[in-house]
Amino acid sequence: MANIAPAFITVSPSYVMPELLLPYSQASGAFDLLATGEPMTRLSDGDLVVYVKRVDMRVKMASGQSAYNQLPSASVALSQLSTATYLFRVRAEYDHHDTAAMGRWGVSIVEAQRLAMQQGHAQLLRAALIFGMNPANGEGLLNTTGATSVPLPPDPNGNDTVVTYDNGAMAFFIIAQIQAIKTRTNQLGIGRKFTICGPQRVLGQFEYQDIVQLVQYQRPGAGSTSTAGVVKDVLKMNGDEILWVYDDTLIGKGASNSNGATDAVIITMPEVAKPNGGKINTNKFAELSPGLSGTVFMLADMVAPKEITTPLPGGAVDVVSELRATSGWAVRGEVVTILSMQYS
């Protein structure tokens, strides 16, 4: 890893501002798509695969005014789901000359290299979460088996791009996708948390530019709101919570159409609740313990990357930073909806 700290010339007298003008990268909100909001620290050192045990049940009943001599029985089938883990590694090497050169600029070489490596881990983890390290195996949320993929249909005026779409129709389209997730997972009537993740140019349009006409949506006290405001208001009325987060790596990652690549917007319901059926419970089997309420996961072997520091000949230092993690893993594919939207 290069440490470029050239000589510099200043005029005397002068004033040097102590603060550093740093590059700012997008702080991705993609990890809010997960059940825990971050990778779960459950792996042991060297774990190569993660498994989850799945239970399925089928039962046949007999009824009549007299007893049957032969009765049907309940069938309980167990199976496993699995996903691979991957070792993420990066290194830094520097000596006392590099340290002195960076110091003349007022920069700690140790902290600069550490933060750079940690950002590299975070960006690779983000890629593994969304796209997967091995997409052919269904890794990554965009490749989830059983996920629902929906292209943006034309609005009532025939427009089919984000910038031309009818604002109210867009709000109703997004709400319909959230309702569909709750229907597929039998969560209607139960307040749930949803995360919508997409590019800034798409979701930002819904939050700041698309004002829904008063004739389509009217808040208490009159007035109007944005497409995102309508979605948030309707979900709040149903006891739901919504997170609206951004990730620009989803630009051009939607399904292709006649106009070319589209932007992807991912909607997840990170956790499910156990529907309570009352005294006569048609969901009784769900009380089997221990149940798994999370639906979208990413597992890691530690909270932060491990740093292994080793001296090199000539007084240099070698630092290896490593972390083991899975790709994004939706164990219930029905909670993931992928919207493909043509921006313009």
Q: Could you tell me the mean pLDDT of each successive run of 10 residues in the chain, 344 residues long?
A: 88 95 94 96 95 95 88 94 97 95 95 96 98 95 96 94 92 96 95 97 88 57 72 93 96 88 96 88 92 96 96 94 98 97 94
Tokens of 19: 């603060």
Name 20's bridge partners. none
Q: pLDDT value at position 257?
A: 81
CA distance linking residue 254 with residue 251, whole number of Å: 8
- 3-state SS, residue 255: coil
Whether 63 is in a domain gets the answer: no
Tokens of 6: 């050239």
Residue type, 232: K
CA distance linking residue 163 with residue 128, whole number of Å: 30
Whether 19 is in a domain gets the answer: no
Q: How many domains does the chain have?
A: 1
Whether 232 is in a domain gets the answer: yes
Q: For residue 97, how many other CB atoms are within 10 A of its CB? A: 12
Whether 64 is in a domain gets the answer: no
Pairing state between β 40-41 and 306-312: unpaired
Domain housing 212: 24-45+85-344
Whether 53 is in a domain gets the answer: no
What b/e readout covers 183-192, taking b as 16+ CB neighbours within 10 angstroms?
A: ebbebeebeb
Q: pLDDT value at position 214?
A: 52
Whether 58 is in a domain gets the answer: no
Whether 54 is in a domain gets the answer: no
Whether 148 is in a domain gets the answer: yes
- 3-state SS, residue 117: helix
